[in-house]
Structure 1
Amino acid sequence: MLDLNLLPLFLAVAEEQSFAAAARRLGVTRSAVSQGVQRLENACGIALVVRTTRSVRLTEAGTRLLAMLGRPMADIGAALEDLGGDIRPAGHLKIAVTSIADAFLSGPLLGSFAEAHPDITIDVTVT
């Protein structure tokens, strides 16, 4: 069974034309990227990249896979980003402060927070 988590690794390598650059972009190790692409190649039963000590280039199969995956992966990324835009912080925030800190919080800091997050109710206890 194909692990779909390997596809972003392949796409990053294809776009960056480098395992090291793909690893930096994805925030993972170069080894993780290399092994992931190798597992994808094993699952597909065909080489997707040609590796040399100085370069990485796509095979014909890799070029075809990149062309087929590019748009759907971009659409999935955009859809996931759009979902995040609808999430607004909500709930109840309880704060216990000293009287000195209260003078600092109850001014513009707490007011601007309340304006920015209208779905959060704030309960301040001054000790």
Structure 2
Amino acid sequence: MQKPNLNDLQAFVTVARERSFTRAAAQLGMSRSALSHCMRTLEERLGLRLLTRTTRSVSTTEAGARLLATVAPRLQEIDLEIGSLAALRDQPAGTVRITAHDHAITTALWPRLMPLMQQYPDVQIELSVDYAMTDIAAQRFDAGVRTGNRVDKDMIAVPIAPELRMAVAASPQYLEGRRLPKQPQDLVQHRCINLRLPTHGGLYAWDFEKKGQALNVRVPGQATFNNTYLMLQAALDGMGFAYVPWDIMAPHIAAGRLVPVLEDWWPTFPGYHLYYANRRQLAPALALVVEALRYRKPA
């Protein structure tokens, strides 16, 4: 049996993860027909069918799933070791891919990563907006960002921001003639702006806490988004109550554009943490990113 080469295996891993020849071809920088031919050649060399193709999607066969589970981690190790060779150069280099949601990118990552990129022009940063509980190894990210209470135990977690406080407010336009909520449960009598979660497609239930009592409320509303800043804008436009981080709502409250409610119920969560796989040696570019983002409490 003729052995497959690494390029063929990398192409297979990309197709299997993307479940699409079109998306995989775009990632790999090759035509869809060339990629399809590459996969047929790989299957012929192995004497096994690896992919099941339909007009709408691509999935792995049993043999394909086994090959994916075996090969993908090893290809990632090879990429890491090749990237670590940059340590032999005078300037760190390489691409660092990070998944995080929009608020974390805007407030914690970008302000500190932009100066780093200006200082190290051979370091490339790719930031991907995602609200899902992303498996960074499976999706080939170098790191991810979550609040500290949501990081898997087998990951290294580095704090990159102070505690995160959530807030609830609506515009004076919306509140005109309406009764203010006194308890979180009163929000079900109002229009609220919902967040659609990518995991299972459900709506986020708003969390509240007061004197050790925690509860969550599933709120109704006409508008649903998967973006923090669009939810805030909808509240400013008079579409109802928004539940977003306090730091981006505060300027609008100070200016009178939003009216806060239920302040004594606003919860506080552990701040954002950068998390990454436990490795013996970090790629130099990732090590730079970790140190640039590390949160240090003010003296």
Distance in 2 of aligned mates of 1:63 and 1:3: 17
In structure 2, the partner of 1:3 is 4
Q: Which has the larger share of strand?
A: 2
What is the TM-score with the length of structure 1 in the denominator? 0.66
Deviation track 1:17-75 (CA, whole Å, cap 9, x = no partner) reads 11111111111111121111111100010100001111101000000000111111100
In structure 2, the partner of 1:19 is 21
Asked if 1:36 corresponds to 2:38, the answer is: yes
Distance in 2 of aligned mates of 1:18 and 1:2: 25
Which consecutive aligned stretches of 4+ in structure 1 deviate over 2 angstroms post-superposition?
84-89
Unaligned runs of 5+ in 2: 92-119, 121-299
Q: Percent identity?
A: 40
In structure 2, the partner of 1:51 is 53
SS state at 1:11 partner: helix
What is the TM-score with the length of structure 2 in the denominator? 0.29
Q: Which has the larger share of helix?
A: 1
Unaligned runs of 5+ in 1: 90-115, 117-127
Distance in 1 of aligned mates of 2:86 and 2:40: 32
1:85–1:30 CA distance, 2 compared to 1 (3 A) = farther
Distance in 2 of aligned mates of 1:22 and 1:68: 19
Distance in 2 of aligned mates of 1:65 and 1:56: 15
Distance in 2 of aligned mates of 1:62 and 1:88: 41
CA RMSD in angstroms comes to: 1.6
Q: Size of the alignment, in residue pairs?
A: 90
Distance in 2 of aligned mates of 1:85 and 1:23: 31
Aligned counterparts, 1:76-95, within 5 A: 76-88=78-90
